[in-house]
């Protein structure tokens, strides 16, 4: 068996890289503003769904609010100079309410305990805490259960009178918006409308009413109210798979090693794959430690020089092996692992299908170790 090894030269840029196409994010935000005719809250939680700092791009292209899950995420944005209204909606009872109030971070409130905690943190010099009462309209996840809603509204009104909170908004979150025709959306929308009615009857006058996230904003005009909280859509993901959004993320990895092997050679841990004939194997320095899903084994492909090749054997922590056959692939060629699909590369949607997950999870998990380049994708990876 003749095995020829060609080992890569010392690292110039031997790393996987993530490119974030700022133009795509800009165009996606513009699409939402145009298609919904509703103010947009750009949801940038979890490091912008793995895309890095995108709040500024979103605000420059029509978003007027920023949404995050946690107060630390919101404070980080304030430290970066983001001045737009920011809402944090997943706040533990002992959250840093003082900092949130001091930095004008709006917080969602789902219980009386939370309401009193945030009200207690308000100081005369900072003014009242800005809160959004969050009603659970059907997810049975976060949000106030309907049986405490009236009491929550009454207590919030009392704290408003005491100058401790200001109810800026009322929010809900749809559970099956990715299926726009489901009647469950009608049920949940009605619960939201009733919740708003109860709040008004208890003396609250919130200016912001928001129920829709990406799928609701796109496909359920009746769920838009005064504001749409758009996360996935910013990055090019439509959970319903209908809207013409542009995936913003491209993941590349250079060919770090090429190896000619004979037929009947086992590849990778467990020898799950055996070569059928003599072929060339290319090693890419990216694996599940970088967020590639191990479950994509057996289906995954990458694109090199415009052609698709199968990822063979197990996906390791740091590397994958690609069977490139007899193709003229060279060391240093840049493989497109994932992208918008415009260069025959696999999309996040394909990777999600291969690994039985959703695009959201895939893009959010990428990049622990990859270097991220936040700029318009350019010719560097387009060869």
Ligand X SMILES: *Cc1c(COP(=O)(O)O)cnc(C)c1O
Report how far apart, in Å, the C-alpha atoms of 19 and of each of 165, 168, 225, 349, 366 are. Answer: 42, 37, 34, 17, 11
From residue 155 to residue 194, what is the string marking binding to ligand X with x (rule CB under 6 A)?
------------------x---------------------
Q: Which residues contact 331 (CB under 8 A, 6 or more apart)?
A: 6, 8, 9, 255, 256, 257, 258
> Alpha helix (H) ranges present in the chain?
22-36, 45-50, 55-60, 71-79, 97-102, 112-121, 146-161, 184-201, 214-219, 348-354, 359-365
**Least separation, in Å, of the C-beta of 233 and ligand X?**
6
Q: Find out whether 317 is annotated in a ligand binding site.
A: yes
What secondary structure does DSSP assign to 69-118, as a single string?
SSHHHHHHHHHTT--S-EEE----TT--HHHHHHTTEEEEE-SHHHHHHH
The DSSP symbol for 305 reads: T
Q: What's the angle, vertex CA 118, arms to CA 113 and CA 119, rounded to 5?
A: 95
- CA diameter of the chain: 84
229 is a contact residue toward ligand X (CB under 6 A): yes
**Least separation, in Å, of the C-beta of 309 and ligand X?**
32
Q: For residues 207 and 129, what is the distance between their CA atoms, to the nearest angstrom?
A: 15
Q: Which of 214, 250, 280, 319 binds ligand X (CB under 6 A)?
A: 214
From residue 344 to residue 363, what is the string marking binding to ligand X with x (rule CB under 6 A)?
--------------------
Nearer to ligand X, 50 or 239 (CB): 239
313 is a contact residue toward ligand X (CB under 6 A): no
Which 3 state secondary structure label does DSSP give 290? helix
* Token pair listed for 186: 């009608």
Q: For residues 243 and 217, what is the distance between their CA atoms, to the nearest angstrom?
A: 11
Query: Is 269 assigned a catalytic role?
Result: yes
Nearer to ligand X, 110 or 370 (CB): 110
Instruction: Give the active site residue among 116, 269, 273, 288.
Output: 269
Nearer to ligand X, 152 or 230 (CB): 230
Q: Which of 19, 32, 65, 89 binds ligand X (CB under 6 A)?
A: 89
Instruction: Give the active site residue among 45, 235, 273, 288.
Output: 45
Residue 263 C-beta-side C-alpha neighbours within 13 Å = 2
Residues 38-67 that bind ligand X (CB under 6 A): 43, 45
Neighbours of 33 (CB within 10 A): 18
231 is a contact residue toward ligand X (CB under 6 A): yes
247 is a contact residue toward ligand X (CB under 6 A): no
The closest alpha carbon to 281, from 304, 297, 299, belongs to 304
71 is a contact residue toward ligand X (CB under 6 A): no
Nearer to ligand X, 230 or 336 (CB): 230
Q: Which stretch binds ligand X (CB under 6 A): 95-103, 149-157, 223-231, 328-336?
A: 223-231
Q: Find out whether 141 is annotated in a ligand binding site.
A: yes
Query: Is 45 assigned a catalytic role?
Result: yes
230 is a contact residue toward ligand X (CB under 6 A): yes
Q: Which of 29, 155, 198, 232 binds ligand X (CB under 6 A)?
A: 232
322 is a contact residue toward ligand X (CB under 6 A): no
Active site residues: 45, 269
State the binding site.
141, 317
Which residues contribute to the site for ligand X (CB under 6 A)? Answer: 43, 45, 89, 173, 213-214, 229-233, 239
Q: Which residues are annotated as a binding site for substrate?
A: 141, 317
């Amino acid at each position: 068996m003749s095995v020829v090894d060609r080992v890569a030269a010392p690292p110039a840029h031997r790393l996987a890289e993530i490119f974030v196409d700022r133009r795509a994010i800009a165009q996606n935000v513009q699409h939402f503003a145009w298609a919904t005719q509703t103010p947009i809250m750009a949801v940038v939680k979890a490091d912008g769904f793995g895309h890095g700092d995108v709040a500024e791009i979103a605000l420059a292209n029509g978003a007027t609010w920023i949404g995050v899950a946690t107060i630390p995420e919101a404070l980080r944005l304030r430290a970066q100079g983001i001045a737009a209204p920011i809402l944090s909606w997943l706040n533990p009872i002992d959250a840093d309410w003082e900092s949130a109030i001091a930095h004008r971070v709006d917080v969602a409130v789902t219980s009386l305990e939370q309401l009193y905690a945030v009200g207690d943190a308000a100081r005369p010099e900072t003014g009242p805490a800005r809160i959004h009462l969050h009603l659970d309209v059907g997810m049975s996840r976060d949000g106030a259960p309907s049986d405490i809603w009236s009491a929550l509204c009454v207590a919030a009104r009392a704290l408003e009178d005491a100058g401790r909170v200001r109810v800026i908004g009322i929010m809900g979150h749809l559970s099956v918006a990715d299926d726009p025709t489901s009647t469950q959306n009608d049920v949940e929308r009605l619960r939201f409308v009733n919740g708003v009615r109860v709040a008004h009857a208890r003396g609250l006058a919130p200016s912001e009413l928001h129920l829709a996230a990406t799928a609701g904003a796109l496909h359920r005009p009746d769920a838009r109210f005064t504001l749409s909280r758009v996360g996935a859509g910013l990055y090019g993901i439509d959970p319903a798979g209908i809207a013409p959004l542009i995936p913003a993320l491209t993941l590349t990895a250079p060919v770090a090693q090429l190896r000619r092997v004979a037929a009947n050679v086992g590849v990778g841990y467990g020898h799950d794959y055996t070569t059928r004939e003599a072929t060339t194997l290319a090693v890419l320095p990216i694996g599940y430690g970088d967020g590639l899903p191990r479950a994509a084994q057996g289906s995954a492909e990458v694109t090199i020089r415009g052609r698709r090749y199968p990822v063979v054997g197990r996906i390791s922590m740091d590397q994958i092996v690609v069977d490139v056959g007899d193709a003229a692939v060279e060391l240093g060629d840049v493989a497109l692992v994932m992208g918008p699909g415009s260069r025959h590369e696999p999309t996040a949607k394909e990777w999600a299908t291969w690994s039985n997950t959703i695009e959201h999870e895939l893009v959010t998990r990428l990049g622990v170790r990859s270097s991220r380049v936040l700029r318009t994708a350019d010719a560097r990876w387009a060869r």
